[in-house]
Structure formats: C-alpha cells, structure tokens
Amino acid sequence: MSRPLGVVSAAPRLAARQQAQRRDRRRAIARRSSWVLGVAAPLFVLAWVVLASSLLAVTKVSVTGERRLTAAQVDEAARVSAGTPLARVDTNAVAKRIEQLASVAAVTVSRSWPHTLKVTVVERQPVVAVPHGTSVVLLDGGGVDLGTVPKIPKGVFRLEVASPSPSDATTRAALNVLRGLPRPLVAQLYSMKASSPEQVTLLLRGGRTVLWGGAEGSAAKASALTALLKMPGTVFDVSAPGVVTRR
C-alpha cells in the first residue's frame, strides 16, 4: 500500500527524542553520582581518621585531683590502651571502672583533642582513724575503708570502734554524731569511742569526757553541752538532753 504524498513519518523524530532523553538521564545520574562521591569520600576519610586511624588516638591519660591516689593507679583502673582512637573511648565505662577504687568519691572523664583523655577525680576524705595494731585504718564520712597508715593524719579524729565498716551500726552512729557536731565543739574534739549505736563518747581536749549517747537529738545535745562546758567538771552527760549532768 502506498503512503500518501506530503505525509512524513514521526517515528524517526520520536526515536531521536527518546535517545536524547535517555542521554540526559544518564548525564543527570552521572552528575548526582559524582556529587555523592564528592561528598561521601571526604566523610569516609574523616570517619576513618577519627574512628580508625592513629592520627587522633590516645597517647596520654591526664589525671587531676588525686592526692592519696597516684596518677598511675587511676591510669591502671581506667584501662585505656595507648593507640585507641580517642572518639571510640567509652568515657562512661572508663569512669565506672575508676569509681571502683575505694578512695574515689566521684570522677569525670572527657576527651581533649587530639590525643588526651582527661580524668578528674574527687577523692574520699578521711575523717576518723581506727587503731589497728601499730597503725590506723582511715575511714571517710560513710565508713568506707581508705587504707592503713602509720599514724593519724592532721585533721582526722581517733575513733575506737570494734568493727569499723559502712555496714556497722556502731560505726555509722559515731560518724553521724561527728557530722552533727557544731564547729566550736569539733574544735575541742580529741577522739571518740563507741561501744554500741547508743553509747558514743566524745573525748575533748583538756581531759573532758562527754557521754553523748546515740546520734539522735544532736542539735539539742550540742546546745546543752555548749552550756555545760562553761561550768567546772570533767564528765558531762548529755545522752538524755532533757536531763543533763556533770561531775
């Protein structure tokens, strides 16, 4: 069948247009791929530098706040290997490991770029010393054992108690009494002894003895004792603050 004169087939134009569209799509995909690679490649390199390379690795653990502890003890407890990428150090886990040291009350761990892990410790402070043979065991305000030393440090009070520990009721009672003493009485305190939670005794400078009793009613006992100490006597009983005596 012959084709009418003057009629041109559209098929070549459609094919050319489709080919052009396919070419444009390929170019667009190539441009997007090039853009993605241009962005991703630097990010990949950065991630490798931060998370896997030795360029930002730990070379030093800086410890501050230690007094009775040593920086080496803290470093050992931290257990962070030199060469570990700084970004991959779990600072919370490191802090928890250091907190296992008996002398540590609190700890903060942070990163200091490019190579340093910073550890700031707050140590427990000894408040009493319990005789133990020829040495003394130091306890903090919660009764935690801070170790044994040859003699009582300055500012620490001697405490005679049978079973010093945070779980011992007598130890806790004596420490609660000490915590509740007003500063003027603390300044006069020489040592303490406790045979039970209800029998805490204070030994003051100048040879004066105070029968304090238990830890309850500390404010009333302190007020009564302050008045009694202005009078003559060597033994002052404030264990029942409503009926105080001296002799």
Q: What is the pLDDT of residues 64-123, one digit of tens each?
A: 999 889 999 999 999 999 989 998 999 999 999 999 998 999 999 999 999 999 999 999
| Predicted local distance difference test score (pLDDT) of residue 51 | 47
In 3D, which of 137, 203, 196 has the Cα closest to residue 172? 196
- At residue 22, does pLDDT exceed 60? yes
Query: Rounded distance, CA 141 to CA 148, Å?
Result: 16
Query: Rounded distance, CA 155 to CA 228, Å?
Result: 25
Give the model's confidence band at 19: pLDDT under 50 very low, under 70 low, under 90 confident, else very high.
confident
Per-residue pLDDT of 158-205, as tens digits, reads 999 999 999 999 999 999 999 999 999 999 999 999 999 999 999 999
Query: Rounded distance, CA 244 to CA 206, Å?
Result: 20
Per-residue pLDDT of 207-234, as tens digits, reads 999 999 999 999 999 999 999 999 999 9
Q: Which residues contact 73 (CB under 8 A, 6 or more apart)?
A: 66, 101
In the block, tokens 């509740």 appear at: 180
For the domain spanning 128-246, the CATH number is: 3.40.50.11690
| Predicted local distance difference test score (pLDDT) of residue 243 | 87
| Domain boundary assignment for the chain | 60-123, 128-246
Query: Rounded distance, CA 226 to CA 185, Å?
Result: 8
Q: Which residues contact 136 (CB under 8 A, 6 or more apart)?
A: 129, 130, 148, 149, 150, 151, 152, 158
Q: What is the DSSP letter of 2?
A: P
* pTM over 0.85, yes/no: no
3-state secondary structure of 7: coil
Element (H, E) at 211: strand 208-213
For the domain spanning 60-123, the CATH number is: 3.10.20.310
Partners of 210 in beta bridges: 202, 236
| Predicted local distance difference test score (pLDDT) of residue 6 | 55
